[in-house]
C-alpha cells in the first residue's frame, strides 16, 4: 500500500486498535462516526494487504522469561535467509536486518535462568560475530507517537477496555500456554474460534483472556509499516551512558516522539532504542541536536533498519 492510500478513517482505525486491539468494530465505528460496515471493510483491506496486523503480546516480566538482545555480524548476501530462519523460531520476539544486511539484531526470550542460544549461532557459517546482552528493563510503556496521533483524548477514553487492573501474581495455566501463541498470531481471533481450536468452552476462554489482560500479562499491539504513515527512516541507537545519568537519559528519550522503543541493557552500551523519523535528515538532526546533547551520553552508535523480519507476531513460514 502507498502512504497516500491511508485516509483519516484508516488512521483513526489504526489508533483505535492501538488503544484496544480487541475493541469491537461497533465501538470503533461510534468513535470514528462511521458505520460498523465501514470499519470492518477498512480493517479487512488493511489486514489482507499486510498493512496491519494485531498481535497479542505477553509481558516477559510477568511470565518469568528473560529477554536477550543478540547482535550478529553476518555475510550480507545471506542476511535475508538467516533472518527468516531466526524469525520462524518460537523463541525470537524481534528480528531486524540492519545496514543493508551487514547485521541482524534479534531478541531471544528464554526461561529466566537460561542463557541465549549463542553456541549454535556462533557456529553458523554465515555469522561472523556475536554479541548478546540482557534486556534488564523496558523504558517505554507508551505507544509510538506516529501510530497514536489520529484520535483526541475523549475518543481514546471511549475506546479503553473497561477492565479493572489486578496487579497480583498470576501463574500461567495450560490454557494460557496454548492460547497465547494463537493470540500472538491473531490478536483479534474470535472467542468461538479460539474455543474450538483449543478445545475449551467459549466462556472459559473469554474469562481467562480477561484475567490475563487485567493482570497485565497480555496486551495487544498493532504492527504497521511506519513508511505507510510517512516515516521513511528507522534506525537503532546504542547509547553508552554514565551510570548516574542513566535514569535521566532514559526518561528523556521516552518523551521524544521519535522513539518507538527504549530499553536498558547490560554491556558497554547500556541503552538500546529504536528511532523513527520522516527521513535521513530528520534522524541526523535528532541524533545530533537531541540525543547527543543529553548529559551523560558518552557514546552513540547508530545502524539503519533495512527491514523487519519479525516484530512481535509469529513470522509466517512461507517466504
Q: What is the pLDDT of residue 170?
A: 74
Smallest Cα–Cα separation from 264: which of 284, 245, 292? 245
- DSSP lists the bridge partners of residue 98 as 103, 305
| pTM of the predicted protein model | 0.86
**Residues of the chain scoring pLDDT < 70:** 1-5, 162-169, 315-319
Cell of 242: 554514565
Phi, psi of 131 (to 5 degrees): -135, 135
DSSP state of 291: I
Q: What is the pLDDT of residue 4?
A: 47
Q: What is the pLDDT of residue 41?
A: 96
Q: In degrees, to the nearest 5, what angle opens at C-alpha 247 toward C-alphas 310 and 239? A: 50
Cell of 171: 501463574
- Give whole-number Cα distances, 241 to 24, 259, 265, in Å: 44, 17, 11
Q: What is the pLDDT of residue 113?
A: 80
Mean pLDDT (the chain) is 91
Gap between the Cα atoms of 171 and 177, Å rounded: 11
Q: What is the pLDDT of residue 318?
A: 43
For residue 233, give the H/E element and its range.
strand 233-241
Each residue of 188-211: pLDDT tens digit? Answer: 999 999 999 999 999 999 999 999
Gap between the Cα atoms of 272 and 292, Å rounded: 14
Each residue of 128-186: pLDDT tens digit? Answer: 999 999 999 999 877 788 888 899 999 999 998 766 666 666 788 999 999 999 999 99
Amino acid at each position: 500500500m502507498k502512504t497516500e492510500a491511508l485516509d483519516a478513517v484508516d488512521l483513526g482505525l489504526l489508533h483505535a486498535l492501538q488503544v484496544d486491539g480487541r475493541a469491537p468494530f461497533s465501538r470503533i465505528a461510534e468513535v470514528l462516526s462511521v458505520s460498523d460496515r465501514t470499519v470492518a471493510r477498512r480493517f479487512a483491506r488493511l489486514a489482507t494487504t499486510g498493512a496491519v496486523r494485531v498481535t497479542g503480546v505477553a509481558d516477559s516480566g510477568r511470565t518469568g522469561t528473560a529477554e536477550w538482545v543478540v547482535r550478529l555480524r553476518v555475510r550480507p548476501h545471506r542476511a535475508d535467509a538467516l533472518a527468516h530462519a531466526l524469525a520462524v523460531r518460537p523463541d525470537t520476539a524481534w528480528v531486524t536486518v540492519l545496514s543493508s544486511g551487514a547485521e541482524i539484531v534479534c531478541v531471544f526470550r528464554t526461561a529466566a535462568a537460561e542463557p541465549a542460544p549463542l553456541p549454535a549461532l556462533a557456529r553458523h557459517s554465515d555469522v561472523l560475530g556475536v554479541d548478546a546482552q540482557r534486556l534488564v528493563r523496558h523504558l517505554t510503556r507508551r505507544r509510538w507517537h506516529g501510530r497514536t496521533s489520529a484520535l483526541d483524548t475523549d475518543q481514546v477514553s471511549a475506546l479503553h477496555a473497561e477492565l479493572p487492573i489486578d496487579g497480583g501474581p498470576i501463574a500461567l495455566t495450560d490454557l494460557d500456554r496454548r492460547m497465547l501463541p494463537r493470540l500472538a498470531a491473531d490478536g483479534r481471533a474470535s472467542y468461538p474460534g479460539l474455543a474450538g481450536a483449543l478445545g475449551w468452552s467459549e466462556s472459559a476462554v473469554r474469562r481467562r483472556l480477561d484475567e490475563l489482560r487485567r493482570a497485565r500479562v497480555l496486551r495487544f499491539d498493532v504492527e504497521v509499516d511506519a513508511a505507510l504513515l510517512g516515516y521513511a527512516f528507522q534506525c537503532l541507537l546504542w547509547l553508552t551512558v554514565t551510570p548516574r545519568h542513566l535514569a535521566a537519559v532514559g526518561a528523556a528519550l521516552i518523551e521524544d516522539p521519535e522513539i518507538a522503543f527504549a530499553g536498558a541493557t547490560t554491556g558497554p552500551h547500556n541503552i538500546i532504542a529504536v528511532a523513527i523519523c520522516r527521513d535521513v535528515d530528520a534522524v541526523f538532526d535528532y541524533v545530533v541536536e537531541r540525543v547527543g546533547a543529553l548529559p551523560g551520553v558518552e557514546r552513540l552508535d547508530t545502524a539503519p533498519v533495512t527491514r523487519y523480519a519479525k516484530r512481535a507476531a509469529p513470522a509466517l513460514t512461507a517466504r
